[in-house]
């Protein structure tokens, strides 16, 4: 039976609750416990799948095909535990479930209310799979006091009430602002935030206080006294150079010990932190740097490409180089030569994306990389752009394009669909169908699929295998109609779906490193286990920078 840790935030948002949860998960693992992390989001969207990356950052896809919050990416990167559909839920989904049950008559005509129907739905969700792990860490999105969050806070209050004493604890993240004028850290916002929690029946066991300055002993005592937590349970969270220092930093501040104390786990198993010590060593002891351009569309909000940046960092750690990522807006060179914008980068990555905007620029970036033998990594849309580039500029199919950009409703066809809209495919042993009028959410090829790699190809060598599994999230596919022609010209389709119908990977021969993949390898990379493609891509960038 799992112990539950509920993680909430107060004072301001963006304090790094997700990171603190993930780091705590990894510390509990280091002490030999099994963990699962879960995110409960109060917003009303049914899932983040249809939310704009500009608004909400990237959509993180799980093996079982859920489109989830990017915090699940942190959870996986820190614990290595693959997230599942049942690890992310929003108010929208909770209400949908409740209303569906009501329509089906499951509530036998009762009046449906937030308490107990919505809160029960939340509690049921929290408990899913509790027998599988030692600790279940549940993070509540937003901050205490948000109207939307109330049913979640009420549910976690009831949850602990329903359970035997000592099975649940609450960890609350707050901010200690620094007043430069008086040179003081202020504890009042934290006190207010805890009061807010207490007013809804919750009392934090652990307080994690974000602070830009060391917390003096006196202030720590004050927080403990006013907020009714033990002094050792007031844990400081200082700014870090890298997020991957968080597990060691939290350990040094006593977070995992405070958690074990709160559960009365005595004696506490000793932690084995070697993995994180090695990670920290790789961050601090680098031998040079490489400059990588991410040529995309959502360049104003870095969170939109969170996992790409992290996977590149992991690749850098594997090669002991610092990876400097520049965000290059593809739209700028939609109708001009890309060279002046891309010169000087040691490698180019074109990430996933939706819609036509900026795609001409991405095609030009692929052309620049192919012609100048610059390492190119095309991911999902980035692979599709590389194939369109090859079709246009090498195979002479000048109108080559994607069906995604020819709006079915406009009736006009501007492009030769080298990339087409897939309506039926196979997952495992089952056929999946998509109708034109399906809802926007969840109509993609989503989740983990197998691919078969050509023996002797560059990718087979990089993976060290010819059978792989990777995560997908897209509607369109490269058409095999052009496979033979393009392969004859040197663009090898070196990875295919097991039935040979869907291209999964392309690579240019006679190029130091030009690989396009239809899936999202960045989602599976970890600091202690970098994805092989990212590891090798950064190696190629390093070679290109003539460091080796």
Is-catalytic flag, 472? no
Marked catalytic residue, from 121, 360, 416, 522: 522
Question: Contacts with ligand GLN in 43-72 (CB under 6 A)?
Answer: none
| Of 179, 255, 178, nearest in space to 212 by CA | 178
Q: Which window, 13-21, 183-191, 256-264, 471-479, contacts ligand GLN (CB under 6 A)?
A: 471-479
Q: 3-state class of 34 per DSSP?
A: coil
For every residue of 356-405, DSSP letters joined together read STTHHHHHHHHHHHHHTT--EEEETHHHHHHHHHHHHHTS--TTEEEGGG
Burial class (CB in 10 A: 0-12, 13-18, 19+), 214: exposed
Q: What is the DSSP letter of 117?
A: I
In the complex, least distance from residue 445 CB atom to ligand GLN, rounded to whole angstroms: 8
Contacts of 76 (CB under 8 A, 6+ apart): 82, 83, 523, 524, 526
Would you state the structure tokens that stand for residue 110, as one six-digit string? 């009762």
Would you state the structure tokens that stand for residue 347, as one six-digit string? 């490698």
Check binding of 522 to ligand GLN (CB under 6 A): no
Check binding of 447 to ligand GLN (CB under 6 A): no
Check binding of 473 to ligand GLN (CB under 6 A): yes
Check binding of 381 to ligand GLN (CB under 6 A): yes
Q: What is the DSSP letter of 115?
A: I
Residue in the shown chain whose Cβ atom is closest to ligand GLN: 352
Q: In the set 16, 42, 48, 352, which binds ligand GLN (CB under 6 A)?
A: 352
Decide: 464 and 537 in contact? Cβ < 8 Å: no
In the complex, least distance from residue 405 CB atom to ligand GLN, rounded to whole angstroms: 9
Residue 204 Cα distances to 169, 172, 198, 247, 273, angstroms: 7, 6, 8, 21, 27
| Of 113, 37, 114, nearest in space to 68 by CA | 37
Closer Cβ to ligand GLN, 125 or 476, answer by number:
476
In the complex, least distance from residue 302 CB atom to ligand GLN, rounded to whole angstroms: 17
In the complex, least distance from residue 380 CB atom to ligand GLN, rounded to whole angstroms: 3
Check binding of 362 to ligand GLN (CB under 6 A): no
Closer Cβ to ligand GLN, 317 or 444, answer by number:
444
**Total binding residues for ligand GLN by CB under 6 A?**
10
Burial class (CB in 10 A: 0-12, 13-18, 19+), 499: exposed
Check binding of 18 to ligand GLN (CB under 6 A): no
Check binding of 521 to ligand GLN (CB under 6 A): no
Q: In the set 380, 387, 459, 517, which binds ligand GLN (CB under 6 A)?
A: 380
Check binding of 354 to ligand GLN (CB under 6 A): yes
Q: Which window, 38-46, 96-104, 246-254, 349-357, contacts ligand GLN (CB under 6 A)?
A: 349-357
The Cα 316–Cα 290 span in angstroms is: 8
Q: In the set 476, 508, 514, 537, which binds ligand GLN (CB under 6 A)?
A: 476
Closer Cβ to ligand GLN, 4 or 519, answer by number:
519
In the complex, least distance from residue 514 CB atom to ligand GLN, rounded to whole angstroms: 18
| Of 48, 58, 524, nearest in space to 311 by CA | 524
In the complex, least distance from residue 388 CB atom to ligand GLN, rounded to whole angstroms: 12
Question: Contacts with ligand GLN in 394-423 (CB under 6 A)?
Answer: 404
Q: In the set 49, 353, 495, 527, which binds ligand GLN (CB under 6 A)?
A: 353
In the complex, least distance from residue 217 CB atom to ligand GLN, rounded to whole angstroms: 50
For every residue of 430-454, DSSP letters joined together read EEEE--TT--STT-SEEEEEEEEEP
In the complex, least distance from residue 259 CB atom to ligand GLN, rounded to whole angstroms: 37
In the complex, least distance from residue 421 CB atom to ligand GLN, rounded to whole angstroms: 8
Is-catalytic flag, 520? yes
The Cα 345–Cα 289 span in angstroms is: 11
The Cα 477–Cα 542 span in angstroms is: 31
Is-catalytic flag, 138? no
Marked catalytic residue, from 314, 380, 470, 477: 380
Torsional class of 129: left (φ above 0), alpha (ψ -120 to 50), beta (otherwise): left
b/e sequence 267-305, b meaning 16+ C-beta within 10 Å: eeeebebebbeebbebbeeeeebbbbbbbbbbbebeebb
Q: How, if at all, do strands 347-350 and 322-329 pair? A: unpaired
Check binding of 474 to ligand GLN (CB under 6 A): yes
Q: In the set 96, 475, 512, 545, which binds ligand GLN (CB under 6 A)?
A: 475
The catalytic residues are 380, 520, 522
Interface residue list for ligand GLN (CB under 6 A): 352-354, 380-381, 404, 473-476
């Amino acid at each position: 039976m799992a112990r539950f840790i509920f993680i909430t935030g107060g004072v301001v948002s963006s304090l790094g609750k997700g990171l603190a949860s993930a780091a705590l998960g990894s510390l509990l693992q280091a002490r030999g416990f099994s963990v699962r992390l879960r995110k409960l989001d109060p917003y009303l969207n049914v899932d983040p799948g249809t939310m704009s990356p500009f608004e909400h950052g990237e959509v993180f896809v799980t093996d079982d095909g859920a489109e989830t919050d990017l915090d699940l990416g942190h959870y996986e990167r820190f614990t290595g535990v693959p997230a599942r559909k049942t690890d992310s839920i929003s108010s929208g989904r909770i209400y949908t479930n409740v209303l569906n049950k009501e329509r089906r008559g499951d509530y036998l005509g009762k009046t449906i209310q937030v308490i107990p129907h919505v809160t029960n739905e939340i509690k049921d969700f929290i408990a899913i799979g509790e027998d599988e792990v030692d600790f279940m860490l549940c993070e509540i999105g937003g901050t205490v006091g948000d109207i939307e969050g109330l049913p979640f806070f009420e549910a976690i209050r009831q949850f602990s009430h329903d359970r035997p004493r000592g099975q649940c604890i609450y960890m609350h993240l707050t901010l200690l602002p620094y007043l430069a004028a008086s040179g003081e850290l202020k504890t009042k916002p934290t006190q207010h935030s805890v009061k807010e929690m207490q007013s809804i029946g919750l009392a934090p066991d652990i307080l994690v206080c974000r602070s830009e300055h060391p917390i003096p002993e006196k202030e720590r005592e004050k927080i403990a006294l006013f907020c009714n937590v033990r002094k050792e349970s007031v844990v400081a969270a200082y700014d870090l150079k890298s997020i991957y220092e968080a597990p060691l930093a939290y350990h040094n501040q006593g977070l995992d010990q405070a958690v074990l104390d709160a559960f009365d786990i005595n004696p506490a198993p000793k932690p084995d932190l070697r993995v994180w010590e090695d990670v920290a060593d790789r961050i601090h002891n680098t031998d040079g740097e490489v400059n990588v351009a991410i040529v995309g569309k959502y360049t104003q909000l870095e969170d939109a490409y969170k996992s790409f940046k992290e996977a590149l960092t992991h690749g850098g750690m594997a090669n002991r180089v610092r990876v400097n990522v520049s965000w290059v807006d593809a739209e700028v060179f939609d109708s001009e030569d890309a060279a002046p914008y891309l010169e000087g980068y040691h490698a180019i990555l074109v990430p996933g994306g939706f819609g036509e905007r900026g795609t001409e620029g991405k095609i030009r970036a692929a052309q620049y990389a192919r012609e100048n033998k610059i390492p190119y990594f095309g991911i999902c849309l980035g692979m599709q752009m590389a194939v369109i580039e090859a079709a246009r500029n090498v195979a002479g199919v000048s109108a080559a394009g994607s069906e995604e950009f020819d709006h079915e409703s406009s009736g006009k066809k501007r492009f030769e669909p080298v990339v087409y809209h897939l309506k039926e495919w196979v997952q495992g042993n089952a056929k999946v169908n998509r109708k034109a009028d399906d809802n926007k959410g969840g109509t993609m090829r989503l989740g983990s699929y197998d691919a078969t790699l050509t023996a002797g190809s560059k990718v087979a060598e990089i993976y060290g295998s010819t059978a792989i599994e990777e995560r997908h999230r897209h509607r369109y596919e490269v058409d095999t109609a052009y496979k033979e022609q393009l392969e004859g010209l040197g663009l090898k389709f070196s990875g295919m779906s097991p039935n040979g119908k869907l291209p999964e990977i392309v690579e240019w021969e006679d190029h130091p490193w030009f690989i396009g993949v239809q899936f999202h390898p960045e989602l599976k990379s970890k600091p202690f286990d970098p994805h092989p493609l990212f590891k090798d891509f950064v190696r190629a960038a390093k070679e290109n920078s003539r460091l080796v």
